[in-house]
Structure 1
Amino acid sequence: MTLARHFASPAEALGYALTLHQNGRHADCGAVCRAILAVRPDHHGASFLLGVAAFALGRVEDSHRRFAVTIALKPELADACFNMALLLRRRARLSEAAALQARALRLASSPAPGQIDAGQVTTLGAMLRELGRTAAARAVLRRAVAQAPDDAEAWRESGHALRDGGDLGAAAAAYGRAYRLAPGRTESLGDRLFAALSQCDWSDYDDLCRQVLAVIDSGRGVALPLLTLMIDTSVAQQDRAARHFHRAVVQPAALLQAAAAVPAAHPPGADGRLTVAYLSADFHEHATAYLAAELFELHDRDRFRVVACSYGPDDGSPTRRRLEAAFDAFRDIRGADPDEVRAMLAAEGVHILVDLKGYTRHVRFDLLARRLAPVQVAYLGYPGTMGGDAMDYVIGDRFVTPPDHQPLYREQLVIMPDSYQANDRRRPLDAPVPDRAACGLPSDGFVFCAFNAPFKITPSMFGVWMSVLARVPGSVLWLQQAGREGAGNLRREAARRGVDPGRLIFAPHKPQAEHLARYRLADLFLDSFPYTGHTTVSDALWMGVPVVTRMGETFASRVAASLLNAASLPETVTTTADEYEALAVRLAGDPATLAGFRRRLAAARATAPLFDSPRFTRHLEHAYRTMWDRHAAGLLPESFTVPPL
Structure 2
Amino acid sequence: MSTARHFASPAEALGYALTLHQNGRHAECGAVCRAILTVQPDHHGASFLLGVVAFTLGRIEESQRHLAVTIALKPDLADACFNLALLLRRRGRLAEAAALQARAIRLAQQADAGQADAGPITTLGGMLRELGQVASARAVLRRAVAQAPDDAEAWREFGHALRDAGEPGAGAVAYARAYRLDPSRTESLGDRLHAALSHCDWRGYDALCQEVLAVIDSGRGIALPLLTLLIDTGPAQQDRAARHFHRAVVQPLAFPQAAVPAAPPPGGGGRLTVAYLSADFHEHATAYLAAELFELHDRDRFRVVACSYGPDDGSPTRRRLEAAFDAFYDIRGCDAERVQALLAAEGVHILVDLKGYTRHVRFDLLARRLAPVQVAYLGYPGTMGSDVMDYVIGDRFVTPPEHQPHYRERLVIMPDSYQVNDRRRPLDAPVPDRAACGLPPDGFVFCAFNAPFKITPSLFGLWMRVLARVPGSVLWLQQPGRDGADNLRREAAQRGVDPGRLVFAPHKPQAAHLARYRLADLFLDSFPYTGHTTVSDALWMGLPVVTRIGDTFASRVAAGLLNAAGLPQMVTTSFDGYEALAVRLAGDPATLAAYRRRLATARATAPLFDSPRFTRHLERAYRTMWDCHAAGLPPASFTVQPL
TM-score bucket of the superposed structures, by smaller chain? over 0.9
The Cα shift of 1:13 comes to 1.3
Mapping for residues 177-192 of structure 1, pairs under 5 Å: 177-192=177-192
Deviation string, structure 1 residues 559-591 (Cα, Å, up to 9, x no partner): 000000000000000000000000000000000
Matched residue, 1:196: 196
Matched residue, 2:116: 116
Deviates more, 1:112-121 or 1:72-81: 112-121
The Cα shift of 1:114 comes to 4.3
Structure 1 contact 451–480 (Cα < 8 Å) conserved: yes
The one-letter code of the counterpart of 1:287 is A
Mapping for residues 532-547 of structure 1, pairs under 5 Å: 532-547=530-545
Matched residue, 2:133: 133
Unaligned 5+ runs, structure 1:
none
Cα distance in 2, alignment partners of residues 181 and 217 from structure 1: 23
Matched residue, 2:95: 95
The TM-score normalised by the length of structure 1 is 0.99
Cα distance in 2, alignment partners of residues 308 and 113 from structure 1: 49
SS of the residue 1:353 aligns to: strand
SS of the residue 2:270 aligns to: coil
Matched residue, 1:222: 222
Cα distance in 2, alignment partners of residues 28 and 290 from structure 1: 55
Structure 2 contact 492–499 (Cα < 8 Å) conserved: yes
Matched residue, 1:637: 635
Q: Does 1:306 align with 2:304?
A: yes
The one-letter code of the counterpart of 1:240 is R
Structure 1 contact 282–289 (Cα < 8 Å) conserved: yes
- How large is the Cα RMSD of the aligned pairs? 1.0
Deviates more, 1:474-483 or 1:341-350: 341-350
Cα distance in 2, alignment partners of residues 150 and 205 from structure 1: 25
Structure 2 contact 477–502 (Cα < 8 Å) conserved: yes
Structure 2 contact 281–321 (Cα < 8 Å) conserved: yes
Mapping for residues 6-405 of structure 1, pairs under 5 Å: 6-255=6-255, 258-405=256-403
Matched residue, 1:575: 573
SS of the residue 2:254 aligns to: helix
Cα distance in 2, alignment partners of residues 184 and 389 from structure 1: 27
The Cα shift of 1:24 comes to 2.2
4+ residue segments displaced more than 4 Å: none
The one-letter code of the counterpart of 2:143 is R
Q: Does 1:564 align with 2:562?
A: yes
The Cα shift of 1:115 comes to 3.4
Structure 1 contact 263–371 (Cα < 8 Å) conserved: no
Deviates more, 1:268-277 or 1:83-92: 268-277
Pair 1:4–1:590, CA change in 2 (3 A): closer
The one-letter code of the counterpart of 2:634 is L
The Cα shift of 1:555 comes to 0.1
SS of the residue 1:413 aligns to: strand
Cα distance in 1, alignment partners of residues 589 and 350 from structure 2: 49
Among all aligned residue pairs of Structure 1 and Structure 2, give the percentage whose two residues are the same amino acid.
85
Cα distance in 2, alignment partners of residues 6 and 146 from structure 1: 50
Q: 1:593 aligns with which of 568, 587, 591?
A: 591
Structure 2 contact 530–557 (Cα < 8 Å) conserved: yes
Cα distance in 1, alignment partners of residues 257 and 68 from structure 2: 21
Pair 1:638–1:126, CA change in 2 (3 A): same
Structure 1 contact 44–74 (Cα < 8 Å) conserved: yes
Cα distance in 2, alignment partners of residues 304 and 111 from structure 1: 58
Cα distance in 2, alignment partners of residues 52 and 149 from structure 1: 31
Cα distance in 2, alignment partners of residues 4 and 426 from structure 1: 71
Pair 1:5–1:272, CA change in 2 (3 A): closer
SS of the residue 1:209 aligns to: helix
Structure 1 contact 263–372 (Cα < 8 Å) conserved: no
Matched residue, 1:421: 419
Mapping for residues 488-503 of structure 1, pairs under 5 Å: 488-503=486-501
SS of the residue 2:268 aligns to: coil
Cα distance in 1, alignment partners of residues 484 and 269 from structure 2: 55
Deviation string, structure 1 residues 71-101 (Cα, Å, up to 9, x no partner): 1111111110110000000000000000111
How many aligned residue pairs are there? 643
Cα distance in 2, alignment partners of residues 304 and 296 from structure 1: 10
Matched residue, 1:435: 433
The Cα shift of 1:484 comes to 2.3
Structure 2 contact 186–215 (Cα < 8 Å) conserved: yes
The one-letter code of the counterpart of 1:218 is S
SS of the residue 1:150 aligns to: coil
The Cα shift of 1:286 comes to 0.1
Matched residue, 2:475: 477
The one-letter code of the counterpart of 2:621 is A
Matched residue, 1:505: 503
The TM-score normalised by the length of structure 2 is 0.99
Deviation string, structure 1 residues 603-625 (Cα, Å, up to 9, x no partner): 00000000000000000000000
Cα distance in 2, alignment partners of residues 515 and 265 from structure 1: 43
The one-letter code of the counterpart of 1:312 is G
The one-letter code of the counterpart of 2:110 is S
Cα distance in 1, alignment partners of residues 551 and 442 from structure 2: 38
Unaligned 5+ runs, structure 2:
none
Cα distance in 1, alignment partners of residues 189 and 261 from structure 2: 38
The Cα shift of 1:4 comes to 9.8
Cα distance in 1, alignment partners of residues 33 and 11 from structure 2: 11
SS of the residue 1:6 aligns to: coil
Deviation string, structure 1 residues 297-355 (Cα, Å, up to 9, x no partner): 10011111110100000000000000001101100000111111111111111110000
Cα distance in 2, alignment partners of residues 181 and 546 from structure 1: 48
The Cα shift of 1:272 comes to 2.0
Cα distance in 1, alignment partners of residues 515 and 196 from structure 2: 31
The one-letter code of the counterpart of 1:273 is R
Deviates more, 1:65-74 or 1:398-407: 65-74
Matched residue, 1:528: 526
Cα distance in 1, alignment partners of residues 17 and 340 from structure 2: 35
SS of the residue 1:361 aligns to: coil
The Cα shift of 1:5 comes to 5.2
Structure 1 contact 3–13 (Cα < 8 Å) conserved: no
The Cα shift of 1:501 comes to 0.4
Deviation string, structure 1 residues 206-234 (Cα, Å, up to 9, x no partner): 01100000000000000000000000000
Structure 1 contact 450–525 (Cα < 8 Å) conserved: yes
The Cα shift of 1:265 comes to 3.7
Cα distance in 2, alignment partners of residues 28 and 137 from structure 1: 41
Cα distance in 2, alignment partners of residues 5 and 111 from structure 1: 35
Structure 1 contact 162–171 (Cα < 8 Å) conserved: yes
SS of the residue 2:603 aligns to: helix
